[in-house]
Amino acid sequence: GVTLLSDYKPYPFEIASVSLIFRLDPAATRVLATLDVTPRQPGADMVLQGEDLTLISLSLDGRTLAPGDYLLDETGLTLPAAGLPAGPFRLQTEVEIAPAANTALEGLYMSNGMYCTQCEAEGFRHITFYPDRPDVMSRFHVRIESDLPVLLSNGNPVGQGPGWAEWDDPWPKPAYLFALVAGDLRATSGSFTTRSGRKVDLNIWVRPGDEDRCDFALGALARSMTWDEEAYGREYDLDLFNIVAVDDFNMGAMENKGLNIFNSKLVLASPETATDTDYERIEAVIAHEYFHNWTGNRITCRDWFQLCLKEGLTVYRDQSFTRDVRLGGLKRIEDVAALRARQFREDAGPLAHPPRPDRYKEINNFYTATVYEKGAEVVGMLATLLGPEGYRAALDLYFDRHDGQACTIEDWIKVFEDASGRDLSQFKLWYTQAGTPKLTVSETYAAGTLTLDVMQMTPPTPGETEKPPRHIPLAVGLLSPNGDEVVPTVVLELTETRQSFRFEGLSARPVPSILRGFSAPVILERATTPAEQAFLLAHDTDPFNRWEAGRTLARQTLMAMARGEGAQLDYLDAVGRLIADDEADPGFRAACLRLPGEDEIAAALFARGDTPDPEAIRVARRKLMKMLATRHGAALSRVYDSCAVAGPYSPDAGPAGRRALRLATLALLTTEDGGARAAALFAEATNMTESIGALNLLVAEGKGQGQLAGFAARWAADPLVMDKWRMAQGALTPPEDAAETVARLAAAPEFDWKNPNRFRSLLGGFAANHAGFHRADGAGYALYADWLLRLDPLNPQTAARMSTAFETWRRYDAPRQAHAKAALARIAATPGLSRDLGEMVGRLAG
Ligand code: ARG
Ligand code: ZN
């Protein structure tokens, strides 16, 4: 079945409170639920979702119901209106479930002997019969019975004894925010006092042995709490905040009220086992889940079509947090690079959908880059249009007006309209339409006046041909020919298909810096010269556009080389100046030195009408790296030597930036020195950033067999670290050997098909191995399809997510397309395919 936005109807019953008793057992857990129900619409049947539940008993106001009193099918339970009282009543159910057999990791499941839950989006229906929809909010009381030492749920502990614990959550919430954890766990604890004086106990719960990797996460939580008070005036609202690390988890983390559950790779960090990037990511995800307490939990979504209401906003908030606590300019560059790599790719292919979709078969398939990252960009545009004070006023109004409610994108837009007095009906298209707008900008200069002519066009996406113009904030600045800023950033507002903007009183023809800070998620097209890009790379005051100029030069050079043309001299020289520019921030220089990836080059070639050749792209990229190393070898060596970071490890932006620059120079040098420096760095590294950084470079050269074996010997007992080793080989093994290598690693005894981190590292790595995955003989596609089919019966949600590796198949030549189509058809034809993967392959082939 398809679920439609237009079919929304309020739930005809109110559930003021729910009490749950869990008698935990791996094979036969009993769940007793008591619902206090008030009918709100006479004559309505009561529908409760429930899947894979064995119904033990059912009673209404104490009277046991017989099978004839209700309807039970594989989606749930219906109590016909005729049998329901007109006033309040109490409904009790008892069901049995088998958490140890739950490999889908949705609902209640087990991970290494501990019980845990994942209920978003529709996992609660695997725990008990309930209206499993976000607009039904209720007070939860939970009793857990188990011999395990630590028993946790949402809210506050209200009682415990040998073999039991009780929890009460004072904040009404939808079922998707329910959580339960039971296990042998150890806490790393701290406390935080909110600015109004509430003392909050903070705990990070992990398996015994992992306690020494929790300090960073605990600090990140306290930093997040402080930031949300300062930036949004939001305080925490319980006396306790628990975070639990779980090894088997489908996503990154989950914002359950007062009991966040995290993938252990996003909690555990030590210098020896986590990279600088891991540290930054951990801090950002801790912040993200914490921020959900207001944007998600206190104000939630009316239905799952509104997912970006909480996710886009919360990603915007976590990105802003990281910009504030680390290096703002660099963070923006990283976020835009990720947006283009994942979301622009999604928007350009068969899976394109609006940030607020209006139909789905399986909601788990819509936890996408479009909902999250584009959703965040849309919030960022609102902030740009209203300015900092206007944005803050709108958010204050949002919290005042909607606290405790389940809301829609319409409610959200209305808040911005009311706070600013502006009409945002055109802006709303960003939420309801798919596709990345293309801006074409040209300019003329005469008599001290620069005129920018801007045209916008959004290409059609599946099911959407009509694309009216959007409301787009375009940040622009002007530089004088000697590099001074003559017009500081102004925000132009585009609302029409074609518009012109004039800048008067200039003394010479300026160089425009357009789309500063990436003020809108669009593709900018403008005829420029390599010399002008090199000028912007050297002089722009906007860090994003400086980087963007270098990126454009690199991409254009690589595209030319992939078509068999020569390298762009302006680019080679500009890189030389950047390497020598010791004034520039090291992290920024590192970002500029990293070449666009092969997938980005393929996308750019396809966008201009070429058929990308994965092999030629790979060869061009490696050739350019070698040319840079040959031309700038001495300067690169100097930077490499001077960027070594001495002293104890710190994940702060300063030292992390120096390590990043060092690895970026090493990547170039390694193409020329036979891997000598990388091998030396690997041998002496005392932190994971440099250890895996050096190993990655060796693997990419088709070398490093000894180092791979050494790494495996050292880290065999640490699957999270070994995931980096699997990822390195999946993503970087030269294409001719990649499929065989990953097939061998997937067959190894320690490769656990039930753990999402394992296959995400290996399969995800291989999907990112552009020339390996898109091998001309189709071996990459075939292998990948085998894996998806193996994974689907165990974990449909993750199998469906991993199938996005196929979203670009239409870019490539006819033989490759035929292989990809055959792989998708083989999946689609498999009997018993999950709804999750079924929907995805249908859309991918579509
Ligand atoms: N709300 C979580 C987060 O982004 C993600 C949960 C995703 N769950 C899912 N079943 N897709 O913070
Ligand atoms: Zn989220």
Instruction: Write the pLDDT tens digit of every residue in 773-791.
Output: 999 999 999 999 999 999 9
Query: Which of 304, 300, 308 is CA-nearest to residue 432?
Result: 308
Does the beta carbon of 127 sit less than 6 angstroms from any atom of ligand 1?
no
How far is it, in rounded angstroms, from Cα 473 to Cα 181? 45
* Ligand nearest to C-alpha 317: 2
DSSP state of 563: T
pLDDT at 606: 97
The CA distances from residue 19 to 77, 179, 762, 775, in Å, are 19, 13, 42, 55
Per-residue pLDDT of 257-278, as tens digits, reads: 999 999 999 999 999 999 999 9
DSSP state of 427: T
How far is it, in rounded angstroms, from Cα 363 to Cα 345? 20
Question: Do residues 583 and 568 lie in contact, with contact meaning Cβ atoms separated by under 8 Å?
Answer: no
How far is it, in rounded angstroms, from Cα 834 to Cα 846? 18
Query: How much distance in Å is there from the Cα of 285 to the middle of ligand 2?
Result: 8
Say which amino acid occupies 495: T
Query: How much distance in Å is there from the Cα of 263 to the middle of ligand 1?
Result: 11
Look at ligand 1, atom 8, and give the residue with the nearest C-alpha: 120
pLDDT bracket for residue 846 (50, 70, 90)? confident
Mutate to test the pocket of ligand 1, among 251, 259, 262, 795 (most ligand atoms within 8 A of CB): 251
Query: Which of 399, 390, 377 is CA-nearest to residue 417?
Result: 390
Is the pLDDT score of 767 beyond 90? Answer: yes
Per-residue pLDDT of 504-553, as tens digits, reads: 999 999 999 999 999 999 999 999 999 999 999 999 999 999 999 999 99
Does the beta carbon of 479 sit less than 6 angstroms from any atom of ligand 1?
no
Look at ligand 1, atom 2, and give the residue with the nearest C-alpha: 254
Query: What percent of the chain lies above the pLDDT cut of 90?
Result: 99
How far is it, in rounded angstroms, from Cα 439 to Cα 151? 55
Task: Give the tokens for residue 510.
Answer: 């300026």
pLDDT at 809: 98
Q: Strand, helix or coil at 299? A: strand
DSSP state of 566: P
Per-residue pLDDT of 7-27, as tens digits, reads: 999 999 999 999 999 999 999
Mutate to test the pocket of ligand 1, among 367, 368, 760, 839 (most ligand atoms within 8 A of CB): 367
Does the beta carbon of 364 sit less than 6 angstroms from any atom of ligand 1?
yes
pLDDT at 210: 97
Is the pLDDT score of 42 beyond 90? Answer: yes
Mutate to test the pocket of ligand 1, among 117, 120, 294 (most ligand atoms within 8 A of CB): 120
Look at ligand 1, atom 12, and give the residue with the nearest C-alpha: 254
Dihedral, CA of residue 280, residue 285, residue 290 and residue 291, to nearest 10: 90
Whether the model pTM is above 0.90: yes
φ and ψ of 812, to 5 deg = -100, 180
Does the beta carbon of 367 sit less than 6 angstroms from any atom of ligand 1?
yes
The H or E element spanning position 407 is strand 406-407
Task: Give the tokens for residue 219.
Answer: 């600090």
Q: What is the mean pLDDT of residues 199-211?
A: 98
Q: What is the mean pLDDT of residues 433-446?
A: 98
Ligand 1 atom closest to Cα of residue 254? 2
pLDDT bracket for residue 6 (50, 70, 90)? very high
Per-residue pLDDT of 383-410, as tens digits, reads: 999 999 999 999 999 999 999 999 999 9
Query: How much distance in Å is there from the Cα of 315 to the middle of ligand 2?
Result: 7
Look at ligand 1, atom 3, and give the residue with the nearest C-alpha: 254
What ipTM is given for this predicted complex? 0.98
Q: Evaluate the CA torsion angle 808, 813, 816, 821 in order and state its sign.
A: positive
Going by C-beta distance under 8 Å and a sequence separation of 6 or more, which residues neighbour residue 741?
Answer: 729, 730, 733
Query: Which of 744, 809, 759, 818 is CA-nearest to residue 789?
Result: 759
Does the beta carbon of 276 sit less than 6 angstroms from any atom of ligand 1?
no
Does the beta carbon of 691 sit less than 6 angstroms from any atom of ligand 1?
no
pLDDT at 568: 85
Query: Which of 210, 26, 183 is CA-nearest to residue 114?
Result: 183
Look at ligand 1, atom 5, and give the residue with the nearest C-alpha: 254
pLDDT at 567: 86
Strand 523-525 with 438-446, pairing:
parallel
Query: How much distance in Å is there from the Cα of 614 to the middle of ligand 1?
Result: 33
Which residues are part of the catalytic machinery? 289
Mutate to test the pocket of ligand 1, among 109, 224, 254 (most ligand atoms within 8 A of CB): 254
Is the pLDDT score of 151 beyond 90? Answer: yes
Ligand 1 atom closest to Cα of residue 285? 12
Does the beta carbon of 739 sit less than 6 angstroms from any atom of ligand 1?
no
Q: Strand, helix or coil at 441? A: strand
Does the beta carbon of 251 sit less than 6 angstroms from any atom of ligand 1?
yes
In the 3-class helix/strand/coil scheme, how is 223-265 assigned residue by residue? HHHHHHHHHHCCCCCCCEEEEEEECCCCCCEECCCCEEEEEHH
Ligand 1 atom closest to Cα of residue 372? 4
Q: What is the mean pLDDT of residues 189-207?
A: 98
Mean pLDDT, the chain, as a whole number? 98
Query: How much distance in Å is there from the Cα of 308 to the middle of ligand 2?
Result: 9
Ligand 1 atom closest to Cα of residue 364? 11
Query: How much distance in Å is there from the Cα of 115 to the middle of ligand 1?
Result: 19
Ligand 1 atom closest to Cα of residue 288? 12
Does the beta carbon of 121 sit less than 6 angstroms from any atom of ligand 1?
yes
How far is it, in rounded angstroms, from Cα 52 to Cα 751? 28
Query: How much distance in Å is there from the Cα of 303 to the middle of ligand 1?
Result: 14
Does the beta carbon of 242 sit less than 6 angstroms from any atom of ligand 1?
no
Does the beta carbon of 255 sit less than 6 angstroms from any atom of ligand 1?
yes
The H or E element spanning position 191 is strand 186-193
